[in-house]
């Protein structure tokens, strides 16, 4: 097995006039859980469809488990488990029948198929619904059945397109736990537009926007790249108007933006954005003392992934 499980070079997919995926390059190493992040319609699913050999790239190349997705697609698919968006399973089959079908399609021997179905069915919590028709299952169970199908043949690589969409919070935690566990030995790519998902499960993330790769790194790396910090203030004043305070705060050196926020009774709240690395808390405290405001709260936080994500993706989306 090669150390680089997925190699993508200048991958491009053009539909008519739109470039759904535009010159994307990245690698995934063995044992990585890669989060593929981007707004809806950014090209996540299209990239996954090319990696799983469902669509052929217009340009560039991709290798999965060392095999080219276009020239050696059968070998690629043997090493791959895939859960497409919206989990399109056969609704007229029971969970057990479906897993047996998937095992037969993958050419698994009947002994191995029986053993794996038992094992994976247990891990995915499918025991109690094994005999139920997939069409009658709740969204969460259907998702688990799809996941079980993808993991059935013990593939080296799992590609999961929005594995937690439409699940309730408890189910999301379960599925994430499962993915994390699998990710210890396997290579996983999962797409999502939910940020906490990436923080909770992924060792590395890619941000894609309008088909282009805009960021690649661990969540911490990406956070560190985004300089600046945000402050929350809650002050009590004796008569000074909100606008006057806002004007004073905006005047402080280093503050790039000041917004008013919902305060408490008799207290006013503000959010400040500062661009530099400098810690402004002392300056803010001094300002409050000088102006005779009573400082009830002062909190500083580093740029969140959400800020990173928004900065990297919003303007591109509004353009299109």
User: Hey, what's the torsion of the CAs at 196, 50, 32, 217, to 10 degrees?
Assistant: -60
Residue 52 and residue 70: Cα distance in Å, rounded? 10
Name which of 69 and 195 has its Cβ closer to another protein: 69
Can residue 285 be called a binding residue for another protein (CB under 8 A)? no
List the one residue from 15, 25, 90, 114 that touches another protein (CB under 8 A).
90
Residue 246 and residue 268: Cα distance in Å, rounded? 10
Task: Give all strands of the β-sheet with 67-68 in edge-to-edge order.
Answer: 18-29, 4-15, 59-64, 67-68
Classify burial at 304, counting beta carbons within 10 Å of its beta carbon; exposed 0-12, middle 13-18, buried 19 or more.
middle
Minimum Å gap between C-beta 132 and another protein is: 14
**Site stretch for another protein (CB under 8 A), options 51-59, 180-188, 197-205, 276-284:** 51-59
Minimum Å gap between C-beta 5 and another protein is: 17
Name which of 28 and 69 has its Cβ closer to another protein: 69
Can residue 169 be called a binding residue for another protein (CB under 8 A)? no
List the one residue from 62, 65, 80, 129 that touches another protein (CB under 8 A).
80
Name which of 87 and 201 has its Cβ closer to another protein: 87
Can residue 74 be called a binding residue for another protein (CB under 8 A)? yes
Can residue 89 be called a binding residue for another protein (CB under 8 A)? yes
Residues 97-116 touching another protein, rule: CB under 8 A, are 97, 101-102, 104-107
Can residue 58 be called a binding residue for another protein (CB under 8 A)? yes
Residue 145 and residue 102: Cα distance in Å, rounded? 11
Name which of 104 and 289 has its Cβ closer to another protein: 104
Can residue 92 be called a binding residue for another protein (CB under 8 A)? yes
Phi-psi bin for 142: left (phi > 0), alpha (psi -120 to 50), beta? alpha
Name which of 80 and 235 has its Cβ closer to another protein: 80
Can residue 86 be called a binding residue for another protein (CB under 8 A)? yes
What does the binding site for another protein look like in residue numbers (CB under 8 A)? 49, 52-58, 70, 74, 77-78, 80, 82, 84-86, 88-93, 97, 101-102, 104-107, 146, 149
């Amino acid at each position: 097995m090669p150390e680089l499980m997925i190699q993508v070079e200048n991958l491009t997919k053009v539909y008519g006039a739109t470039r759904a995926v535009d010159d994307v390059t990245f690698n995934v190493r063995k044992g990585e859980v890669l989060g593929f992040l981007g707004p809806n319609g950014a090209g996540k699913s299209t990239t996954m469809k090319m990696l799983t050999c469902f669509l052929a790239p217009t340009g560039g190349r991709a290798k999965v488990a060392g095999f080219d997705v276009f020239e050696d697609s059968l070998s690629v698919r043997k090493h791959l488990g895939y859960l497409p968006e919206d989990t399109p399973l056969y609704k007229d089959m029971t969970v057990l029948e479906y897993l047996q079908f998937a095992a037969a399609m993958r050419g698994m021997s009947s002994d191995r198929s029986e053993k794996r179905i038992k094992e994976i069915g247990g891990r995915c919590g499918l025991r109690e619904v094994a005999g139920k028709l997939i069409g009658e299952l709740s969204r969460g169970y259907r998702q688990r059945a799809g996941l079980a199908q993808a993991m059935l043949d013990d593939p080296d690589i799992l590609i999961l397109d929005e594995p937690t969409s439409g699940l309730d919070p408890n189910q999301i935690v379960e599925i994430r736990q499962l993915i994390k566990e699998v990710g210890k030995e396997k290579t996983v790519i999962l797409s999502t537009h939910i940020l906490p998902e990436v923080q909770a499960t992924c060792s590395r993330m890619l941000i894609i926007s309008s088909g282009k790769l805009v960021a690649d790194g661990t969540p911490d790396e990406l956070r560190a790249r985004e300089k600046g910090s945000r402050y929350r203030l809650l002050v009590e004043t004796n008569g000074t108007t909100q606008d006057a305070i806002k004007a004073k705060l905006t005047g402080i050196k280093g503050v790039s933006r000041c917004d008013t926020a919902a305060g408490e009774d008799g207290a006013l709240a503000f959010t400040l954005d500062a661009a530099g690395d400098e810690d402004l808390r002392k300056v803010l405290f001094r300002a409050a003392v000088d102006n005779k405001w009573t400082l009830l709260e002062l909190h500083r936080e580093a740029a969140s992934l959400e800020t990173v994500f928004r900065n990297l993706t919003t303007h591109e989306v509004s353009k299109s």
